[in-house]
A = this chain, B = another copy of it.
Amino acid sequence: MSAVIVEKSEARKIKSNGFISKFGALIGLIILCTVLTILSDNFLTVDNVMNIARQSSINALLAIGMLLPILTAGIDLSVGSILALSIMMMGIVSVNHGLNPYLGIVVCLGVGALLGWTNGIMLTKLKLPHPFISTLGTMNIARGIALIITGAAPIAGFAAPIQFAGNQFVGPVPFSFILVIVVYILFDIFLNRTSTGRYIYAIGGNKETARLSGINVNKILVIVYTLSGLMAGLAGLVMVGRVNSAFPLAGMGYELDAIAAVIIGGASFFGGVGTVWGTLIGATIIAVLRNGLNLLNVSADFQMAIIGLVIVAAVYVDVLRQRSFKK
């Protein structure tokens, strides 16, 4: 038989019932916000909340893309590099060659999706044993190309339409935040109300059962990695808007933050478990934490240590909550 039994941790088993468990990390987030509001006068201000909304947007977009591979029991290590190559290509097209900015946006998203698609193809057609390998490869290759094509130089001076997503405000609300919400709603619909979405959960739950139920597993996996790449491109677009420049080291190490957001949000590495809104909460926790530590003037070394502690604590709160919930 080609199936193998893998146990899932206690915590996972309990998950999955009802509303509360869907918003596992929410309690952690609320505690965190309460503490920061007490510690800093500047935390709970409109300005600062909007700051957080903007700052979380890039990671939130990467994380929602990352949720899909993780739901299928995979991973995508290449999102940071895909982001970089996407924006460098956009820079070349729309700044260096001065072509239409909308074409630039298409290139940015297109390159992201294309690289993601390549990840999917490597996994399913080359049959590499785990997406860790294919996406680790892409991570290096895409970053290398991003460096090569511009000689490691940054590109600045993007046209307004390109900057829009990352730079515009609608009233006091940053457009990037609205974009994140729209994207999350779309993903929620996609994952819960379409057959492809269900297939993603099914593959993560049990690939063999999924295949025997007539699901074209390879096709779905390619879609999954393509979407993850597309989201990396979109995150890149937002980033370019924010800083009005594209640089080849952009997004370095972002995959870890994205994965952390997904896992803090309650998804499981073993696949099949995880929600869109949990992921958003995970991304928000990370952004709030960073912002709060900056406001409190915590130095970088202490920030590191504290971030580590809070990541563990946030998840632990969730574990405790579920345990009491179970009783």
Instruction: Show the binding face of A for B, using Cβ within 8 Å.
Output: 2-13, 73, 77, 122, 126-130, 132-134, 136-145, 147-148, 151-152, 205-211, 256, 259-260, 263-264, 268-272, 300-309, 311-312, 315-316, 318-319, 323
Contact = CB atoms under 8 A, between A and B. Distances in A.
Given A7-B207, A130-B263, A300 B147 contact: yes
A136 B264 CA distance: 11
Contacts of A12: 129
B140 A301 contact: no
Contact of A264 (B133, B138, B260): B133
Given A140-B311, A256-B136, A305 B148 contact: yes
Contacts of A256: 77, 136
A5 B6 contact: yes
8 contacts: A6-B271, A7-B206, A128-B316, A133-B264, A134-B312, A140-B307, A141-B305, A145-B305
Interface of A, secondary structure class, is helix
Contact of A206 (B6, B141, B307, B323): B6
Given A3-B5, A148-B302, 10 more contacts: A7-B206, A7-B207, A11-B127, A129-B315, A132-B269, A133-B260, A133-B312, A136-B260, A137-B309, A140-B304
Contacts of A315: 128-129, 133
B319 A127 contact: yes
User: Which 4 residue pairs are nearest across A and B when measured between Cβ atoms?
Assistant: A144-B305, A140-B308, A7-B207, A144-B304
Contacts of A259: 132
Nearest to A73: B6
A187 B210 CA distance: 38
B6 A129 contact: no
A218 B187 CA distance: 37
A306 B144 CA distance: 8
A306 to B, nearest CB: 7
Nearest to A305: B144
B141 A308 contact: yes
A91 to B, nearest CB: 16
A206 B9 contact: no
A320 B17 CA distance: 43
Nearest to A300: B147
Contact of A140 (B145, B209, B305): B305
